[in-house]
Chains A and B, each alone.
Chain A
Amino acid sequence: MHVPILKQGPYLIVTMQSALADADFLQLRDSVMERVGKFRSRGVIMDVTALDVMDSFACRSLRDIAQMIKLRGAETVMVGIQPEVAFTMVQLGLTLDGVVTALDLEEGLAYLDRGNKKSR
C-alpha cells in the first residue's frame, strides 16, 4: 500500500493508513529518506491516527525511521497515537524511546515550528 508523503514548507507529512504490511514500512522508510534529502526538510510528521495496530514490527520500523531522519539532520514527531493503541503498546512493552510524540497534527506542527525558530 502506498503511503502518501506531503511536502508542507520545510516539513514532510506522512499519513499512515490502517492496513500497512511489513513491506510497506520498509518502502516508506526508503521514500521518506529520499525526500528528506531531496526537499532539504527540517522536520517530518508521522501521522498514525488511522493506524489500528501498532505491533512490535511497526513500532521498531517507525523508531528506526525516526532515528535515520535524525541522522540526516531533521526532526521527527509522531502524532495521533490513539488511546487504545497506546494502551496496547504499553501492555506489549513497546516504547518509542527518542521519538517525540504529539497529540495531533496541529500540535506536531507547532512543535516543529518552535524548533525551527530557535535554530534560525
Chain B
Amino acid sequence: MIDEIHVSVSSDADIVTARQKGRALAAELGFPITDLVMIATSISELARNIVLYARRGEIVLGVAIDDRGKRGIVVVARDDGPGIRDVKQAMLPGYSTSGSLGLGLPGVRRLMDDFQIVSEAGKGTIVTARKWSQ
C-alpha cells in the first residue's frame, strides 16, 4: 500500500515536483502513458492555481479504491487562500481573474474522471480529482 504523498506548493519549481511525483505514482498504479500525461497536466494546473491565487498550499497524492475494488489515483489540491467567490463562474472555460487562459479548472474536470471543488471566500479552496485505471 502506498502512503499519501504530500507536496507543499509555493513556487513554480514545486509545480514541477508535484506533477513529477503524481506521474510517478500513476505509473506505479499501471496507468497507460496517455493517462500519465493527463494526470501530470491536471496536477500542473491545480498546483499553478495554488501559487497564483493562494501563494501557498499543498498537493496530496494518494491511491483511491472504489466500492468494487477498482484502483485509481486521487489528487487533492488544498490552500488557505482567498477562496473562489463564484465557483460556477470559475468552472466556465475562458473565465479568469488573473489574465491566464482560464482553461485550468474546466480542463482538469475534463482530464480526470471525478472532480469536486469546495471553496469559500476568505477560507480557501479544496479541489479533489480522481482518475480510475481501466
Contacts and interface: CB of A to CB of B under 8 A. Distances in A.
Interface of A: 19-23, 52-57, 59-60, 82-85, 87-88, 91-94
B33 A84 contact: yes
A93 B13 contact: no
Contact of B103 (A21, A52, A93): A93
Contacts of A57: 44, 48, 100
13 contacts: A21-B12, A22-B12, A22-B15, A52-B37, A53-B19, A56-B48, A84-B36, A87-B37, A91-B107, A91-B111, A92-B111, A93-B93, A94-B107
Report, nearest first, the 4 A-B pairs whose CB atoms are least far apart: A92-B107, A22-B12, A55-B44, A21-B12
B104 interface: yes
Nearest to B110: A91
A56 B91 CA distance: 15
Given A19-B20, A53-B41, 4 more contacts: A83-B34, A85-B37, A88-B111, A92-B110
Contacts of B12: 21-23
Contacts, number: 71
B16 A54 contact: no
Nearest to B100: A56
B29 interface: no
B130 interface: no
A85 B41 CA distance: 9
A20 B110 CA distance: 24
A21 B16 contact: yes
A18 to B, nearest CB: 9
